Amino acid sequence: MSMAVPFSHLAGESKSEALRLNFDGRIKLDFHGTKLSSNGGLLLFRELDAALGLTEMASWELRDRRTGRNTQHTLLALFRQSVFGRLAGYEDVNDADRLSRDPVMRSIVGRGADDRAAASESEMGRFETGILPDERNLAALVNLNGAWINRVQARRRSPTLILDIDSSESPVHGDQEGAAYNGYFGCVCYHPIFVFNQDGDLERCALRPGNVASANGWRDVLAPVIERYRWQPLWRRYLRADAAFARPDMYAFLEQERFGYAIRLPANLVLGAKIGHLLKRRPGRPSLSVERHFASFSYRAESWDTGRRVVAKVEWHPGELLPQVGFLITNLSVPAERVFDFYNRRATAEQWIKEGKYAIRWTRLSCRSFAANAVRLQLHALAYNLGNFLRTLALPPEIAHWSLTSLRERLIKIGAKVVRHARSITFQLAEVAVSCRLWKEMLAAIAGLRPVEHPP
């Protein structure tokens, strides 16, 4: 039976004299790792988590294979430490020992009211590389993002669904299983695939070997998302994708599912001939502004079973000899210009991928086994979604434009001091980038997300 470790003896507490600074002899530096935290803003995300009942779903879905009586941390506590740690910028388990003493993290995982630390580096390593890579647990993690989004969409009540599918690279620098050289990206990497909705939520993702094509396995990722929304009261359903997903089997699938789509189509000689009249510069002096021309026509490639609508855009830019030409294949009936306006908004999906890379750091896939790295990607995805839920559901208008990087640096990384009383625990928070008024507004917005409890 393990004994609780008193706060004063946990690593991180100062046991030596305070440090002094030469520029001002009155200043002393003292270290109290169990009483102070640099992650005070995580408490707000935990409040959102509790209001929506998100991380508790893991306790229903994940299977605990541990045996014996010396199990100090529940599976739910380990899961929360994994997700919230990544949200705060700790992309792997290397910092788990320090986080285990952090008073905010202890409160998040349920250890704030006793004298015990959160999970150590070795415990988190066994959890992420030993328990979660189990086939059943990995499948549960993959589906958990969708379950979370279902909870959130019930609050948003949007009548429209817009999906964006894309792929990206996750460079590796070791001997990771499944990593391979990708000629397009010019590096040894993994090649994950992502599906986002119009609110920036990551609906589903999958880790893939580095040398597969961009559209490889698209159906395995997209079909479960569409199935989740099949019986929801949506008026319109759309999908956007770049030219890597211009495949007749995808067109047929989307048409069967009654999805509107706009997918970039690679140019060829036949398509060019269809708009030949727009590729000739008008006689006379060139315009000093951009000239745009649109066209719409039916097109059928040899491998297609039927003809489909293609829209084209030709742009003449001042000072350029040749025009810029783009083609989209679509089943939308709106004018060609509106189809391009709709498609161009998929650039936000590329921005969301960048936020995942740089704010959540989901490219940090350094485990040896492919399954363990697949687990890491899913944990990063869950952390990304938790951050995006707060951004889209609870931020006041004056900070609603903040990126996930801004949320981490300005909101999560708030200094906090814990003061323990007999019946309460108080966190004293620094008030710099986020004022007390903003905290009140965000907490009120989160409170409005809780399900209404009806009296019996």
Paired with 195 in beta bridges are 165, 204
Answer whether residue 424 is part of any domain: yes
Answer whether residue 56 is part of any domain: yes
Q: How far is CA 25 from the centre of its chain?
A: 46
Instruction: Tell me the pLDDT tens digit for each residue of 282-324.
Output: 777 777 888 899 999 999 998 899 999 999 999 998 888 889 9
Domain of 406 in residue numbering reads as: 7-134+397-447
Of 301, 330, 345, the residue that ends a domain is: 345
Instruction: Tell me the pLDDT tens digit for each residue of 69-96.
Output: 657 888 999 999 999 999 999 988 888 8
Q: Are residues 13 and 122 in the same domain?
A: yes
Whether the predicted pLDDT of 379 surpasses 80: yes
Q: Are residues 341 and 413 in the same domain?
A: no
Answer whether residue 241 is part of any domain: no
| Other Cβ atoms closer than 10 A to 442 | 22
Cα–Cα distance measured from residue 297 to residue 310, given in angstroms and rounded to the nearest whole number: 6
| pTM higher than 0.85 | yes
Q: Are residues 409 and 298 in the same domain?
A: no
Cα–Cα distance measured from residue 323 to residue 192, given in angstroms and rounded to the nearest whole number: 34
Asked whether 32 and 433 are in contact (CB, 8 A), the reply is no
Instruction: Tell me the pLDDT tens digit for each residue of 219-250.
Output: 999 999 999 999 888 999 999 999 999 999 99
Answer whether residue 15 is part of any domain: yes
Sequence-separated (6 or more) residues with CB below 8 Å from residue 280: none
Q: Are residues 404 and 340 in the same domain?
A: no
Answer whether residue 111 is part of any domain: yes
Instruction: Tell me the pLDDT tens digit for each residue of 162-198.
Output: 999 999 999 998 899 999 999 999 999 999 999 999 9
Q: Which of 25-39, 92-106, 148-162 has the highest mean pLDDT?
A: 148-162
Sequence-separated (6 or more) residues with CB below 8 Å from residue 82: 124, 127, 128, 379
What's the structural domain count of the chain?
2
Q: Are residues 119 and 12 in the same domain?
A: yes
Cα–Cα distance measured from residue 63 to residue 137, given in angstroms and rounded to the nearest whole number: 6
